[in-house]
Structure 1
């Protein structure tokens, strides 16, 4: 299914599609469980929050003037929704790390042409979630350093040039700084792009995986960048096509409400229509997220394998392992770096 030799672009794209087709239950099943579970937890948290603060929310919505709302009334609502937002961000990070780890775990079997059960993939991916999440966080923080430098420069300009022209000067500094430092951020992103695969294939820690990615990308930065960007674009297009019918269905469902009622819809009807629209849209967004995250990670994982086959002659080792090792066992010297 995946040639055990240095891969061309067509080999990488075909390999990603073939892997998704053969192991779709494992890939999309794990992603559906984690994203669906996260969506259920978030929905339950919002329902509990609304039930406990409904009186305050009602009072804020129906207040005659915004100035009539005090912090004592709005504070618990703001803090409650901020807590749910923070929890949503954390759950999203865990889900994304799980999908990254699942994609690499499936590729470990796909490159050898071996079957993999849902349970085995889940167990292997779950055991690497924290290292993958740490790797993604660490690489993201390093990549954001240029943007933080630009933001700091803008703040410094605003403080130093207080006056009528301070905003204009800050905008100019921000734009020029972004144009100068944005390439640095992209360069760092590509250097660290193979780190999640190294975490799973080689059982590296976050720092070791980042170093490993830098070594593998060295000498092929433009190739890794181009193929990674192409995978992101293809995944986004596929995700948009999946989400479009759900968004359209949700809009038509919400627009039917005024037509089905002889008079103005009640508050309960409006809430029901909005809830159904959000539910349909959230389902489409979840399915879109699964595809738009999984496909680029399969491509990145194959780029990792390709770089090792080119730099470390991993192909003959994989061929020998595929012929000699029974399914379910870890082939020797395949995941350890040379």
Structure 2
């Protein structure tokens, strides 16, 4: 008999088609919780960044106009630090708001996607409210998991950057002395050192790639979720790497194409409007002309966030389910949780 399929995947060891198809089916069947929550979170994030950007530009409008006037003068001099400092402070504040908001938004959406996947695997209905209530308490654990994984992965990355920097510096010094062979040797040494040092970072990334799913499905803390991921990935490192990279590539290419199309449309509109400006437009006129372009760019970014924050976490969650089916006989427990007749003793479900 074929394996039972109460939800988006058959309850058996999953192949590549089952994982990718299950992720796409989850997006299709649960459009409200998936796209609704992701759009709300990243819409709020985009609005927050937009407000921070507008506030920063409003706060330094006079300094920016002054610098533009200085640049237009024939005898323009380098601006003093006191004139540039407000612009630097405004830029740093906007970047800080954007980074903190992005970390929170990504963790919230990832928790929501994995929560939806729990219902999708079992074929249960899900609403935005129910998903939100169950996902929100897991956001701190996901943030902690991401930070710890990033810090651990940075350990081999730092030597890689050192090797690369030494190679580039040696190449520049050798090129200055017209020694092409020595410069090429330095470049090769830097690239080789970079590749050798970056391999452990990739290995660690794959080793802990299932930690978010463990944090949500099993309600584990960051450290225990990372240990759980290491246990599940052991012996299946290459399949986990291949499927994860393929999911990331699919989402990145799709988001990139959409963003490029919207960027071209916005740039064409801005250039058309800029043709109507005079020879000496003011700052307000320039901002009004390019405001449409900025809005289109932000819409493209929002769509990119939606794609890249929904599909890969669903794929990662299904890889987690697949590993537990293979190693812990999870399929009978899932069938029982879905209301199907019991088949055999199994590991606890999620």
TM-score, with length taken from structure 1: 0.89
How far does residue 229 in structure 1 lie from its aligned partner after superposition? Answer: 0.9
Cα distance per residue 1:312-332 (max 9 Å; x no partner): 00100010111079xxxxxx9
Cα distance per residue 1:223-249 (max 9 Å; x no partner): 111111111111112213332432222
Q: Which residue in the other structure is 1:292 paired with?
A: 308
Structure 2 Cα separation of the partners of residues 300 and 18 of structure 1: 15
Structure 2 Cα separation of the partners of residues 290 and 96 of structure 1: 10
Q: Which residue in the other structure is 2:69 paired with?
A: 62
Structure 1 Cα separation of the partners of residues 130 and 277 of structure 2: 56
1:258–1:265 Cα contact (<8 Å) kept: no
Deviates more, 1:99-108 or 1:141-150: 141-150
Listed as ranges, the matches of 1:129-208 within 5 Å are 129-153=139-163, 164-165=173-174, 168=183, 171-208=187-224
1:307 to 323, 327, 330: 323
Structure 2 Cα separation of the partners of residues 314 and 262 of structure 1: 66
2:247–2:311 Cα contact (<8 Å) kept: yes
Q: Which residue in the other structure is 2:281 paired with?
A: 266
2:167–2:191 Cα contact (<8 Å) kept: no
How far does residue 86 in structure 1 lie from its aligned partner after superposition? Answer: 1.5
1:97–1:132 Cα contact (<8 Å) kept: yes
Structure 1 Cα separation of the partners of residues 57 and 314 of structure 2: 39
Aligned residues: 327
How far does residue 202 in structure 1 lie from its aligned partner after superposition? Answer: 0.6
How far does residue 304 in structure 1 lie from its aligned partner after superposition? Answer: 0.2
SS at match of 1:323: coil
SS at match of 1:138: helix
Where structure 1 has 5 or more consecutive residues not aligned to the other structure, the ranges are 326-331
How far does residue 108 in structure 1 lie from its aligned partner after superposition? Answer: 0.8
2:160–2:194 Cα contact (<8 Å) kept: yes
SS at match of 1:62: helix
How far does residue 264 in structure 1 lie from its aligned partner after superposition? Answer: 4.0
Moved segments of 4+, more than 6 Å: 155-159
1:258–1:264 Cα contact (<8 Å) kept: no
Cα distance per residue 1:241-283 (max 9 Å; x no partner): 3324322220221121144x28547334332121210110110
RMSD of the alignment, in Å? Answer: 2.6
1:231–1:296 Cα contact (<8 Å) kept: yes
